[in-house]
Chain A
Amino acid sequence: MSDYVSPVGQGIPRLETRDKITGKAVYADDMSRPDMLFGVIVPSPHAHARIAGYDVSAALALDGVVAVVTGEDIGDHKIGPFIKDETALAVGKVRYMGEPVAAVAAVDLETAKQAARLIDIAYEELPAVFDTDAAMAEDAPVLHENSGDYIKVFEADSDGNAMAIIEIVEGDVASAWENCAAIVEGSYETQAQCHSYMEPCSALAEIDSNGKITIWSSNQSVFHVQAFTADALGIPMSKVRCVTPQVGGAFGGKMEQTVQPAAAALARATGRPVKVTLTREQDFEMIRARHPGKVWMKTGAAADGTLLAREVRIVLDAGAYADDSPGVAGIAALFCRGPYRIENVSIESRPIYTNKLRSGAFRGFGGPQVAIAGETQIDEIADRLGLDPIDVRLKNAVRPGEEWMIGVALNKAGLSECLNRVRAASGWDEKRKAAPNGSGRRRGIGVACIPHISGVLTSGAIVRILEDGTAVLNTGAVDNGQGSDTVLVQICAAALGLDVDRVSVATPDTDGSPYNWGTTASRVTYMAGRAVVAASEDAVNQLKQRAAIMMECAEEDLELRDGGRIGIKGVPEAEVGFRDISGFSHWVAGGPVIGTNSLAYDGPDFDPKRGFLRGFPFGKIGAWIFAAQAVEVELDEATGRITPLKIWSAHDIGKAINPTAVEGQIQGGIVQGLGYALCEEMVWDSGRLANPSFMDYKIPGIADVPPQIETILVEDPDEDGPFGAKGIGEPPIVGIAPAISNAVAHAAGIRLRRLPMTPERVLRTLKE
Chain B
Amino acid sequence: MSEAIPISLTVNGRTHRLFVQPWHTLLQVLREQILLTGSKRGCNQGVCGACSVTIDGAVVRGCLTLAVNATDREIVTVEGLAAGNELSPVQQALLDRGAVQCGFCMPGMAVAATALLADNPDPSDDEIRDGLSGNLCRCSGYVKVIEAVRSASAGGAS
A-B interaction? yes
Q: What residues of chain B lie closer than 8 Å to A709, measured between beta carbons?
A: 141, 143
Q: With contacts A23-B77, A198-B50, A705-B143 known, is A246 near B103, CB below 8 A?
A: yes
A667 contacts partner chain B, Cβ-Cβ < 8 Å: yes
Whether A198 and B138, one on each chain, are in contact in the complex, defined by CB atoms closer than 8 angstroms, is: yes
Closest-by-CB residue of A relative to B43 is: A280
In the bound complex, do residue A667 and residue B144 qualify as a contact, i.e. CB atoms below 8 Å apart?
A: yes
Chain A contacts of B78 at CB under 8 A? 21-23
Contact check, A17 vs B102: say whether CB atoms are below 8 A apart.
Answer: no
Distance in Å: Cβ of A627 to nearest Cβ of chain B: 15
Answer yes or no: B40 CB below 8 A from chain A CBs. yes
The answer to whether B40 touches A248 (Cβ under 8 A) is: yes
Q: Does A13 contact B (CB under 8 A)?
A: yes
Q: Determine if B133 and A702 form an interchain contact, defined as CB atoms under 8 angstroms apart.
A: yes
Taken together as a complex, chains A and B put the C-alpha atoms of A406 and B91 apart, in Å, by 50
A197 part of interface (Cβ distance < 8 Å): yes
Query: How many Å from the CB of B30 to the closest CB on chain A?
Result: 10
B139 — which chain A residues lie within 8 A by C-beta?
198, 249, 481-482, 664, 668
| Closest chain B residue, CB of each to CB of A669 | B141
Question: Is B9 engaged at the interface, CB distance under 8 Å to the other chain?
Answer: no
Contact among A16, A19, A21, A197 with B110 in the assembled complex (CB-CB below 8 Å): A21
- In the complex, the chain A residue whose C-beta lies closest to that of B146 is A702
Across the interface, do B140 and A668 meet the contact criterion of CB distance under 8 Å? Answer: yes
Residues of B within 8 A of A660 (CB): 97-98, 144
Distance between Cα atoms of A689 and B100 in the complex (Å) = 32
- What are the residues of chain A within 8 A of B95 when measuring CB–CB? 13, 17-18, 21
8 A Cβ contacts from A200-227 to B: 200
B81 and A703: CB pair below 8 A?
A: no
Q: Find the B residue at minimum CB distance from A108.
A: B32
A742 at the interface (CB under 8 A from B): no
Q: Out of A16, A25, A195, A703, which one reaches B130, CB within 8 Å?
A: A703
- B: interface residue count bin: 35 or more
Taken together as a complex, chains A and B put the C-alpha atoms of A699 and B41 apart, in Å, by: 17
Q: How far is the CA of A114 from the CA of B48 in the complex (A)?
A: 26
B142 & A671 in contact (Cβ 8 Å cutoff): yes
How many angstroms between the C-alpha atoms of A541 and B128 in the bound complex?
A: 52
Asked if residues B40 and A27 are in contact (CB atoms below 8 Å), the reply is yes
**0/1 string, B34-53, CB within 8 A of A gives 1:** 00111111111101101000
Contact of B141 among A195, A481, A670 (CB under 8 A): A670
Within 8 A of A (CB), among B128-157: 128-130, 132-133, 135-146
In this assembly, does B94 line the interface, its C-beta being within 8 Å of a C-beta of chain A? yes
A27 and chain B: residue at smallest CB distance: B104
- Per the bound structure, the CA–CA distance linking A228 and B87 in Å amounts to 41
- Give A443-502 interface residues, CB cut-off 8 Å to B: 480-483
B102 in complex: contacting residue of A13, A22, A26, A480, CB < 8 Å: A480
Query: Given B31, B41, B138, which contacts A249 in the complex, CB threshold below 8 Å?
Result: B138
Q: Using Cβ atoms and an 8 Å threshold, which residues of chain B touch A699?
A: 136, 138
- The 8 Å CB contact of A694, one of B99, B101, B106, B136, is B136
In angstroms, Cα B141 to Cα A567, docked, is 47
A198 adjacent to B105 (CB under 8 Å):
yes
Contact A249 B98 (CB under 8 A): no
Residues of the B chain whose Cβ atoms lie less than 8 Å from the Cβ of A25: 103
Interface positions, chain A 1-53, Cβ under 8 Å from B, are 11, 13-14, 16-27, 29-30
Q: Is the CB of B38 within 8 A of A694?
A: no
Interface string of B74-96 (1 = CB under 8 A from A): 00011101100001000100111
| Chain B residue contacts of A20, Cβ below 8 A | 100, 103, 106
Q: What CA separation (Å) do A481 and B141 show in the bound complex?
A: 13
Which of B45, B133, B138 has the most chain A CB atoms closer than 10 A to its own CB? B138
With A197-B102, A709-B141 as given contacts, are A695 and B37 in contact (CB-CB < 8 Å)? Answer: no
In whole angstroms, how far apart are the Cα atoms of A25 and B107 in the complex?
A: 10
Complex: how many Å from CA A481 to CA B135? 17
Q: Are B100 and A21 in contact (CB under 8 A)?
A: yes
The answer to whether A198 touches B104, judged by C-beta atoms less than 8 angstroms apart, is yes
Q: State which of A13, A18, A669 has its C-beta within 8 Å of the C-beta of B98.
A: A13
List residues of chain A with CB within 8 A of the CB of B110.
Answer: 21
Interface string of A361-401 (1 = CB under 8 A from B): 00000000000000000000000000000000000000000
In the complex the two chains form, what is the Cα distance from A241 to B98 in whole Å? Answer: 33
Q: Is there a chain B Cβ closer than 8 Å to A672's Cβ?
A: yes
Distance in angstroms between the alpha carbons of A705 and B50 in the assembled complex: 19
Q: Which of B9-40 contact A (CB under 8 A)?
A: 31, 36-40
Q: Does A199 contact B (CB under 8 A)?
A: yes
Q: How far is the CA of A411 from the CA of B101 in the complex (A)?
A: 32
Pairwise interchain contact A279-B138, C-beta atoms closer than 8 A? no
CA distance A23 to B107 in the complex (A): 6
Q: Which residues of A contact B97 (CB under 8 A)?
A: 660
Interface residues on A, range: 35 or more
Q: How far, in whole Å, are A699 and B138 apart by their CA atoms in the complex?
A: 8
Distance A671 CA – B143 CA, assembled complex (angstroms) = 10
Q: Which residue of A lies closest to B21 (CB)?
A: A110
**A200 and B42: CB pair below 8 A?**
yes
Min CB distance A153 to B, Å, is: 30
Task: Determine whether the beta carbon of A481 is less than 8 Å from that of B103.
Answer: yes
Q: Is A163 an interface residue (CB 8 A)?
A: no
Query: How far, in whole Å, are A695 and B136 apart by their CA atoms in the complex?
Result: 12
**Residues of chain A within 8 A of B135, CB atoms compared:** 701-702
Q: Return chain B residues, CB-CB under 8 Å to A24.
A: 38, 79
| Cα-based distance from A672 to B141 in the complex (angstroms) | 8
Is there a chain B Cβ closer than 8 Å to A352's Cβ?
no
Q: Which residues of A contact B138 (CB under 8 A)?
A: 195-198, 249, 251, 668, 672, 699
Known: A27-B40, A280-B43, A693-B43. A702 touches B91 (CB 8 A): no
B119 within 8 A of A: no
Say whether B125 faces chain A, with CB atoms less than 8 Å apart.
Answer: yes
Chain A 677-712 per-residue mask, 1 if CB under 8 angstroms from chain B, else 0: 000000000000000011100010111010101000
Is A663 an interface residue, CB under 8 A from the partner?
A: yes
Q: Are B48 and A198 in contact (CB under 8 A)?
A: yes
Inter-chain CA distance A11–B144, complex, in Å, is 13
Contacts of B48 in A (CB 8 A): 198, 280, 694
CB pair B146–A280 under 8 Å, yes or no, is no
A757 CB–B CB distance under 8 Å:
no
User: Could you say which residues of chain A place their CB within 8 Å of the CB of B140?
Assistant: 664, 667-668, 671
Residue A661 interfacial (CB < 8 Å): yes
Of A196, A668, A671, A703, the residue contacting B129 (CB under 8 A) is A703
Q: Let me know if A247 is at the binding interface, CB within 8 A.
A: yes
Which residues on the A side are within 8 Å of B37 (C-beta)? 23, 26, 29-30
A21, B45: Cβ atoms under 8 Å? no
**CA–CA, A249 and B105, complex, Å:** 10
Between-chain CB contacts (< 8 Å), 20 pairs: A18-B95, A21-B78, A21-B103, A22-B78, A22-B81, A23-B79, A23-B107, A26-B37, A198-B138, A249-B102, A249-B138, A280-B43, A280-B45, A664-B144, A669-B141, A693-B45, A702-B132, A702-B133, A702-B142, A703-B129
Q: Which residues of B contact A (CB under 8 A)?
A: 31, 36-45, 47-48, 50, 77-79, 81-82, 87, 91, 94-107, 110, 125, 128-130, 132-133, 135-146
Q: Contacts A198-B137, A247-B102 given; 12 further ones with Cβ under 8 A?
A: A13-B98, A21-B95, A21-B100, A21-B106, A21-B110, A23-B78, A195-B138, A198-B102, A660-B97, A660-B98, A671-B142, A705-B146
Return the 3 tightest CB-CB contacts between A and B, nearest first.
A23-B38, A481-B102, A20-B103
Q: Which residues of A contact B (CB under 8 A)?
A: 11, 13-14, 16-27, 29-30, 195-200, 246-249, 251, 277, 279-280, 480-483, 660-661, 663-664, 667-672, 693-695, 699, 701-703, 705, 707, 709
